[in-house]
Structure 1
């Protein structure tokens, strides 16, 4: 039983590291606490409760998590500090030992965060001290992670993020996410449709489908991702759906064809490649080769010529010899993709990649990353430039008074409306514009109102 009276008038501060899925979950926690009488702390105000939702995708992410925890403790003396997320799952005891942390929750316990918070808060109020300065922590082994925390929230964003799946059954050699998130699981289509309908009633126009491996949807319920897409497409009031990321081997041609003719699914895909070398893909234990990946990209472009396609690429992984990287570069250069998200490989304890003998040094990783980022800039700029002069519908996001407004077209081109034309009534509205030239920092196309 949660005593909400104990939280009335309290303040909270939230910090999220990592993926869109984490941001969606944190936003849901914030909304729940708000409904219990907790308000978000203002800038410069000390919080009573601090919640840090962590990431552990790289060694740099781990380091940043520790930095954020120390900073939150230092800036909010006496606050009740909760740490959850992937780093909290993988290193529960270590996080619990950080001075100032009160509660650490792994991936299975995250769904019951409010109950754990209430119980621990009551212990503190009753004067019960933790053992030897160690925070209370709860986590289970990967195989025992079974809970699913529903999440459909927007926080301070215009777009809603709907969590449709969690966990992963793909134990790629470089990755710790299955250990941190558990095996693939999902709620029912009916429950997700209900959440999307609620977002529509709240005035939402766009929903992004998030998860760890969302193409694997149906593992729990026996349904399919295509069935989910069709059901969501019928939700009245939601004008746009975007799919956050899909594994290449799980992008069914029927799904691509349906999205091309659908009412609300946008011509926008994000597809993790990781390497454009078949030899490296085998070392990574990825479940596809470059031929399959190329087919998916070209089929998307055949069905949706204006589609924006983002691609994840890892550089400097174990076993990526110079000739394999060159294969990767040439492969990506040959594809009609729009943007590359480039990540230098990071050694993760406990992963089987550590047994691969060939190691790429940090300087070479940076050189390879720089080359791919340059290629990405060229492809993105060309994609934008080809659309100058066209008309497009843009969903605008709120801007500070006197500042330019920004938004995105259906195919994810970032658009800027100058301050002189920005209006409060455009916030969270889809407005027809003509796409002009690039703005001053080349990050957006200028919008001309029709």
Structure 2
């Protein structure tokens, strides 16, 4: 039997798809690309925006058209948050949520054996534990993503994730240590700790994110430890200093901003002010040499005036983010923001997105130019063209260089000699 997977959404979803792939392979399936003929197609969905839901429906239809006789399974955040809507999708033969992934192989077996439609969505419960999962091998050979936290209880006014992912729960340090040792034995040199709300790691266990970071840094064979997206207000000065004492911690931090206007942040139910955010950025830059702070910025949130948008633009320029994911607010069914008055027109949101992107791209160019002349450590990940390799420095600057040798998977010192619009060019030292 051949099984194919397709993932929508974040790094946590990608990690979970790798877990599912491992489960099915252990069950005797041959794992193939989603573009190939398969007996089973599994779609791990995202429901952060309505666009994600649209992509889910499109992929389900594509899989059925590729092989009408195949079993098509839908899992992940969309059916967990909107079970009734998921059940109405005729292309989905098997439907599970984000809380019972381990039962998906058995659900597929039931469909194959009986031909009946299988719907198995378990609601999240307060007090539920972290789902036991551990990866030994990833399709990407240079960097391993390690999910250490699930769930969110921050309830931003625009976000459906607390409904889709449930309460905060964390991977115990003993389980994390075992997984990290397995990855080190598999020759992964960089690990990325990820979670739905990573900053809340350990809240129910009496530990904190810094404890997981220090554990990861203690594992022989792992050369780099990187963090996924962070909620800024949960990053304390003490934790920043403890991280800075670990040479393996990469000086790149993705601090989710959303808006550079305090009034907009209040309506979003974010839990910090721009002044507090800036203070955290200053601390990171003080403690980490050549530190890169990346972020997300939303434009067109309900009631966002031109003045508020200008404040957000000015703050983004002031912080000088090396990279920004800019996106327009999209009303999400089931959230408070979707029912707020003062919804911004699609045209206005697109126009503001274009202005914010133009600003942040110019700032990115300046950052890349600032890297010229520096010697950095680069983990090479792929060959772009014959003898042309791409890798990432500690602060996640993309670096291209030419070499007659195969550099894939190696960490090497590189001098940055020039900056392009979206990457730097280097030479081996």
Fold shared by both chains (TM-score > 0.5): yes
Q: Determine the structure 2 residue equivalent to 1:412.
A: 396
Whether the 8 Å CA contact 1:259–1:267 is kept in 2: the answer is no
Structure 2: gaps of 5 or more residues: none
Q: Distance in 2 between matches of 1:139 and 1:248?
A: 33
Give the Cα separation in 2 of the matches to 1:326 and 1:44.
44
TM-aligned CA deviation for residue 393 of structure 1 = 1.1
Aligned with 1:232: secondary structure? helix
Distance in 2, matches of 1:100 and 1:409, equals 43
1:141 aligns with 2:126: no
Q: Which of 398, 416, 421 does residue 435 from structure 1 map onto?
A: 416
After TM superposition, where is structure 1 displaced by more than 4 Å over at least 4 residues in a row?
none
Give the superposition deviation at 1:42: 5.3
Q: Which moved more, 1:189-198 or 1:396-405?
A: 396-405
Report whether the alignment pairs 1:311 with 2:295: yes
Report what 1:379 is aligned to.
363
Contact 2:6 2:34 in 1 (8 A): no
Contact 2:292 2:395 in 1 (8 A): yes
- TM-superposition CA deviations, 1:68-96 (whole Å, max 9, x none): 11111211332121111111212333333
Cα distance in structure 1, aligned partners of 2:396 and 2:53: 31
Match of 2:138 in 1: 154
The answer to which of 226-235 and 308-317 deviates more is 226-235
**Aligned with 1:121 (options 109, 122, 125):** 109
RMSD of aligned Cα (Å): 1.9
Determine the structure 2 residue equivalent to 1:224.
Answer: 208
Find the residue that maps to 1:57 and give its secondary structure. coil
2:25 matched to 1:34?
A: yes
> How far does the alpha carbon of each residue in 1:174-228 deviate from its partner, in whole angstroms, 9 at most, with x for none?
0001101111111211211211111000000001111111110112322111122
Unaligned runs of 5+ in 1: 1-9
In structure 2, C-alpha distance between the alignment counterparts of 1:356 and 1:244, rounded to whole Å: 30
- Name the CA distance, whole Å, in 2 between partners of 1:422 and 1:91: 52
| 1:59 maps to which of 36, 46, 50 | 50
State the TM-score, normalized to the length of structure 2.
0.94
Tell me how far apart the structure 2 counterparts of residues 271 and 69 of structure 1 sit (CA, whole Å): 33
Out of 213, 218, 226, the residue aligned to residue 234 of structure 1 is 218
Count of aligned pairs: 427
Instruction: Describe the superposition over 1:401-435 as per-residue Cα deviations: whole angstroms up to 9, x where unpaired.
Output: 726211101111101123xx1533x2111011111
Other-structure match for 1:423: 405
Task: Compute the displacement of 1:312 (Å).
Answer: 1.0
CA distance in 2, matches of 1:398, 1:214: 28
**Match of residue 272 from structure 1:** 256
Aligned to 2:377: 393
Choose which of 82, 90, 96 in structure 2 pairs with 1:99: 90
TM-score w.r.t. structure 1 length?
A: 0.90
Within the candidate set 151, 154, 174, 1:170 is matched to 154
